[in-house]
Amino acid sequence: MTSPSFSELTAAVRSEGEGIVAAGRLGLDVPVPTCGQWVMSDLLRHVGEVYEWVGGIVGERLSGRPDSKPSAPADVDPVDYLASQLDELVEALSSTEPDTPVWNWSAEPDVAAFWARRMAHESSVHRYDAQRAHSLAQPIDAELAHDGMDELIDVLVPRVRTRDGATLPEATIAFLATDEGSWNVRLSAASIERLEVARDPDVTVRGTTSALLLAAYNRVPWTSLEVSGDSAVLDGWSKALQF
Protein backbone atom coordinates (compact mmCIF):
# COMPACT_ATOMS: atom_id res chain seq x y z
CA MET A 1 0.00 0.00 0.00
CA THR A 2 1.38 3.41 -0.95
CA SER A 3 1.77 6.12 1.67
CA PRO A 4 -0.63 9.07 1.52
CA SER A 5 0.75 12.18 -0.16
CA PHE A 6 1.20 15.52 1.60
CA SER A 7 -2.00 16.86 0.04
CA GLU A 8 -3.90 13.71 1.00
CA LEU A 9 -2.69 13.96 4.59
CA THR A 10 -3.66 17.63 4.70
CA ALA A 11 -7.11 16.70 3.40
CA ALA A 12 -7.32 14.05 6.14
CA VAL A 13 -6.54 16.69 8.76
CA ARG A 14 -9.48 18.70 7.44
CA SER A 15 -11.96 15.82 7.21
CA GLU A 16 -10.99 14.15 10.49
CA GLY A 17 -10.88 17.50 12.27
CA GLU A 18 -14.35 18.33 10.98
CA GLY A 19 -15.47 14.98 12.37
CA ILE A 20 -14.29 16.06 15.82
CA VAL A 21 -16.07 19.39 15.48
CA ALA A 22 -19.30 17.67 14.42
CA ALA A 23 -19.15 15.31 17.39
CA GLY A 24 -18.50 18.24 19.69
CA ARG A 25 -21.67 19.95 18.51
CA LEU A 26 -23.65 16.98 19.83
CA GLY A 27 -22.81 17.87 23.43
CA LEU A 28 -19.89 19.14 25.48
CA ASP A 29 -20.50 17.42 28.82
CA VAL A 30 -20.55 13.80 27.68
CA PRO A 31 -17.66 11.66 29.02
CA VAL A 32 -15.03 10.51 26.51
CA PRO A 33 -14.44 6.91 27.65
CA THR A 34 -11.23 6.48 25.64
CA CYS A 35 -9.58 9.55 27.20
CA GLY A 36 -9.52 8.91 30.94
CA GLN A 37 -11.53 11.46 32.91
CA TRP A 38 -12.08 13.89 30.05
CA VAL A 39 -15.44 15.11 28.89
CA MET A 40 -15.98 16.35 25.34
CA SER A 41 -15.02 19.95 26.08
CA ASP A 42 -11.65 18.78 27.40
CA LEU A 43 -11.00 16.83 24.22
CA LEU A 44 -11.93 19.78 21.99
CA ARG A 45 -9.66 22.14 23.90
CA HIS A 46 -6.79 19.67 23.76
CA VAL A 47 -7.06 19.15 20.01
CA GLY A 48 -7.52 22.88 19.43
CA GLU A 49 -4.37 23.63 21.41
CA VAL A 50 -2.41 21.05 19.42
CA TYR A 51 -3.70 22.53 16.16
CA GLU A 52 -2.78 26.05 17.28
CA TRP A 53 0.72 24.93 18.33
CA VAL A 54 1.45 23.08 15.09
CA GLY A 55 -0.20 25.75 12.96
CA GLY A 56 2.21 28.26 14.45
CA ILE A 57 5.22 26.03 13.90
CA VAL A 58 4.38 25.42 10.25
CA GLY A 59 3.00 28.87 9.48
CA GLU A 60 6.01 30.65 10.97
CA ARG A 61 8.51 28.12 9.55
CA LEU A 62 10.10 27.69 12.97
CA SER A 63 13.56 26.14 13.11
CA GLY A 64 13.35 25.26 16.81
CA ARG A 65 10.86 24.28 19.49
CA PRO A 66 8.48 27.10 20.45
CA ASP A 67 9.06 28.62 23.88
CA SER A 68 5.54 27.76 25.05
CA LYS A 69 2.38 25.93 24.09
CA PRO A 70 -1.02 27.58 23.55
CA SER A 71 -3.81 27.40 26.08
CA ALA A 72 -7.43 27.61 25.00
CA PRO A 73 -9.13 30.73 26.41
CA ALA A 74 -11.50 29.82 29.23
CA ASP A 75 -14.29 32.05 27.88
CA VAL A 76 -14.28 30.69 24.31
CA ASP A 77 -16.70 28.02 23.15
CA PRO A 78 -14.63 24.84 22.69
CA VAL A 79 -16.33 23.97 19.40
CA ASP A 80 -15.67 27.41 17.94
CA TYR A 81 -12.08 27.35 19.20
CA LEU A 82 -11.38 23.97 17.63
CA ALA A 83 -13.03 24.92 14.33
CA SER A 84 -11.01 28.12 14.14
CA GLN A 85 -7.70 26.40 14.90
CA LEU A 86 -8.49 23.67 12.38
CA ASP A 87 -8.93 26.34 9.68
CA GLU A 88 -5.63 27.95 10.66
CA LEU A 89 -3.75 24.65 10.66
CA VAL A 90 -5.10 23.54 7.29
CA GLU A 91 -4.28 26.95 5.83
CA ALA A 92 -0.71 26.74 7.16
CA LEU A 93 -0.22 23.26 5.71
CA SER A 94 -1.91 24.07 2.40
CA SER A 95 0.34 27.10 1.84
CA THR A 96 3.53 25.15 2.55
CA GLU A 97 5.56 22.78 0.41
CA PRO A 98 6.13 19.37 2.02
CA ASP A 99 9.92 19.76 1.98
CA THR A 100 9.87 23.22 3.59
CA PRO A 101 12.32 23.26 6.53
CA VAL A 102 10.27 23.18 9.74
CA TRP A 103 11.29 21.94 13.20
CA ASN A 104 9.81 18.79 14.72
CA TRP A 105 10.55 16.80 17.87
CA SER A 106 11.43 13.48 16.21
CA ALA A 107 14.43 11.92 14.53
CA GLU A 108 12.60 12.34 11.22
CA PRO A 109 13.66 15.07 8.75
CA ASP A 110 12.77 18.60 9.87
CA VAL A 111 10.28 19.33 7.11
CA ALA A 112 6.62 20.31 6.96
CA ALA A 113 5.61 16.86 5.71
CA PHE A 114 6.18 15.52 9.23
CA TRP A 115 3.41 17.72 10.61
CA ALA A 116 0.84 16.90 7.93
CA ARG A 117 1.34 13.23 8.76
CA ARG A 118 1.36 13.71 12.54
CA MET A 119 -1.76 15.88 12.51
CA ALA A 120 -3.64 13.49 10.21
CA HIS A 121 -3.14 10.64 12.65
CA GLU A 122 -3.67 12.79 15.75
CA SER A 123 -6.96 13.87 14.19
CA SER A 124 -8.11 10.41 13.13
CA VAL A 125 -7.64 8.88 16.57
CA HIS A 126 -9.27 11.82 18.34
CA ARG A 127 -12.11 11.80 15.82
CA TYR A 128 -12.72 8.22 16.90
CA ASP A 129 -12.61 9.37 20.55
CA ALA A 130 -15.12 12.15 19.93
CA GLN A 131 -17.52 9.93 18.00
CA ARG A 132 -17.19 7.12 20.51
CA ALA A 133 -18.35 9.50 23.24
CA HIS A 134 -21.69 9.70 21.41
CA SER A 135 -21.73 6.01 20.40
CA LEU A 136 -21.26 7.00 16.76
CA ALA A 137 -17.67 5.85 16.18
CA GLN A 138 -16.61 5.02 12.64
CA PRO A 139 -13.43 3.12 11.72
CA ILE A 140 -10.37 4.91 10.40
CA ASP A 141 -9.88 4.78 6.64
CA ALA A 142 -7.73 1.74 5.82
CA GLU A 143 -5.04 3.64 3.87
CA LEU A 144 -4.76 6.28 6.56
CA ALA A 145 -4.68 3.63 9.30
CA HIS A 146 -1.94 1.76 7.43
CA ASP A 147 0.26 4.85 7.46
CA GLY A 148 -0.78 5.40 11.07
CA MET A 149 0.63 2.01 12.02
CA ASP A 150 3.88 2.87 10.23
CA GLU A 151 4.12 6.18 12.07
CA LEU A 152 3.23 4.69 15.43
CA ILE A 153 5.93 2.03 15.23
CA ASP A 154 8.64 4.07 13.50
CA VAL A 155 8.15 7.46 15.17
CA LEU A 156 5.94 7.43 18.26
CA VAL A 157 7.04 4.23 20.00
CA PRO A 158 10.74 5.24 19.93
CA ARG A 159 9.79 8.67 21.27
CA VAL A 160 7.81 7.21 24.17
CA ARG A 161 10.69 4.88 25.02
CA THR A 162 13.38 7.59 24.97
CA ARG A 163 11.43 10.61 26.22
CA ASP A 164 9.16 9.03 28.79
CA GLY A 165 11.36 6.11 29.77
CA ALA A 166 8.53 3.69 29.07
CA THR A 167 9.42 0.05 29.64
CA LEU A 168 8.33 -1.95 26.62
CA PRO A 169 8.03 -5.73 26.75
CA GLU A 170 11.01 -7.60 25.30
CA ALA A 171 9.19 -9.59 22.64
CA THR A 172 8.30 -9.89 18.98
CA ILE A 173 4.80 -8.85 17.93
CA ALA A 174 3.21 -9.62 14.57
CA PHE A 175 0.39 -7.25 13.61
CA LEU A 176 -1.51 -8.73 10.65
CA ALA A 177 -4.15 -6.70 8.84
CA THR A 178 -7.04 -8.63 7.34
CA ASP A 179 -7.53 -5.87 4.74
CA GLU A 180 -3.84 -5.53 3.75
CA GLY A 181 -0.50 -5.12 5.45
CA SER A 182 1.61 -6.47 8.28
CA TRP A 183 3.93 -5.01 10.90
CA ASN A 184 6.46 -7.28 12.56
CA VAL A 185 8.13 -5.61 15.50
CA ARG A 186 10.92 -6.81 17.75
CA LEU A 187 11.02 -4.87 21.02
CA SER A 188 13.98 -4.84 23.39
CA ALA A 189 15.42 -2.60 26.06
CA ALA A 190 17.86 -1.18 23.50
CA SER A 191 15.89 -0.95 20.28
CA ILE A 192 12.68 -1.19 18.28
CA GLU A 193 13.24 -3.15 15.09
CA ARG A 194 10.95 -3.72 12.12
CA LEU A 195 11.27 -7.22 10.67
CA GLU A 196 10.45 -8.39 7.16
CA VAL A 197 9.24 -11.69 8.59
CA ALA A 198 8.43 -12.56 12.19
CA ARG A 199 9.54 -16.13 12.82
CA ASP A 200 7.93 -17.54 15.95
CA PRO A 201 6.53 -14.22 17.25
CA ASP A 202 5.61 -14.12 20.90
CA VAL A 203 2.16 -12.87 20.00
CA THR A 204 0.19 -12.36 16.77
CA VAL A 205 -2.72 -9.97 16.42
CA ARG A 206 -5.14 -10.02 13.46
CA GLY A 207 -7.80 -7.51 12.56
CA THR A 208 -8.61 -4.69 10.17
CA THR A 209 -5.93 -2.03 9.91
CA SER A 210 -8.23 0.40 11.71
CA ALA A 211 -8.79 -2.04 14.57
CA LEU A 212 -5.07 -2.76 14.88
CA LEU A 213 -4.26 0.94 15.07
CA LEU A 214 -7.01 1.68 17.58
CA ALA A 215 -5.94 -1.24 19.78
CA ALA A 216 -2.31 -0.13 19.60
CA TYR A 217 -3.48 3.31 20.78
CA ASN A 218 -5.48 1.75 23.63
CA ARG A 219 -8.78 2.78 22.06
CA VAL A 220 -10.26 -0.70 21.71
CA PRO A 221 -9.38 -3.84 23.74
CA TRP A 222 -7.02 -6.41 22.29
CA THR A 223 -9.71 -9.00 23.00
CA SER A 224 -11.82 -7.43 20.24
CA LEU A 225 -9.21 -8.71 17.74
CA GLU A 226 -7.91 -12.21 17.02
CA VAL A 227 -4.95 -12.84 19.33
CA SER A 228 -2.71 -15.88 19.44
CA GLY A 229 0.31 -16.34 21.65
CA ASP A 230 1.30 -14.49 24.83
CA SER A 231 -1.35 -11.82 25.42
CA ALA A 232 0.69 -10.48 28.35
CA VAL A 233 2.99 -8.91 25.76
CA LEU A 234 0.08 -6.81 24.52
CA ASP A 235 -0.79 -5.84 28.09
CA GLY A 236 2.79 -4.63 28.46
CA TRP A 237 2.49 -2.62 25.24
CA SER A 238 -0.71 -0.99 26.45
CA LYS A 239 0.80 -0.13 29.84
CA ALA A 240 3.84 1.48 28.22
CA LEU A 241 1.99 3.41 25.53
CA GLN A 242 -0.51 5.77 27.12
CA PHE A 243 -1.72 8.33 24.61
Question: What's the mean pLDDT when you consider all of the chain?
Answer: 95
In a domain, 1, yes or no: no
Looking at the fold, whether 47 and 102 belong to one and the same domain comes out as: yes
- Domain ranges, residue 176: 142-240
* Residue 168 pLDDT > 80: yes
Residue 113: partners with Cβ closer than 8 Å, 6 or more residues away: 6, 9, 98, 99
pLDDT over threshold 90, residue 11: yes
Q: Give the C-alpha separation, 157 to 155, whole Å.
A: 6
pLDDT recorded at residue 204:
97
Calculate the CA 1 to chain-centre distance: 19
Instruction: Give residue-wise pLDDT tens across range 117-126.
Output: 999 999 999 9
Quote the number of domains for the chain: 2
pLDDT at residue 190, rounded to an integer: 78
- Whole-model pTM: value is 0.96
Answer yes or no: do 148 and 109 share one domain: no
| Rounded average pLDDT over 211-236 | 97
215, part of any domain? yes
Last residue of a domain, one of 85, 100, 133: 133
Supply the pLDDT for residue 3: 87
pLDDT tier for residue 161 given thresholds of 50, 70 and 90: confident
Q: Are residues 151 and 102 in the same domain?
A: no
Averaged over 43-64, what is the pLDDT?
Answer: 98
Mean pLDDT of 102-119: 97
Residues 6 or more apart whose CB falls under 8 angstroms from that of 10 comprise 90, 93, 94, 116, 120
* pLDDT for position 159: 87
The rounded distance, in Å, linking the Cα atoms of 93 and 9 is 10
Asked whether residue 99 falls in the same domain as residue 180, the answer is no
Torsion of CA 191, 192, 198, 199, to 10 degrees: 20
d(CA 43, CA 224): 25
Torsion angle of the four alpha carbons 139, 141, 144, 147, in this order, in degrees rounded to the nearest 10: 60
Same domain, 54 and 154: no
* Residues 38 and 119 placed together within one structural domain of the fold: yes
- Domain end point (choices 133, 156, 177): 133
Please give the share of the chain, as a percent, with pLDDT higher than 70: 99
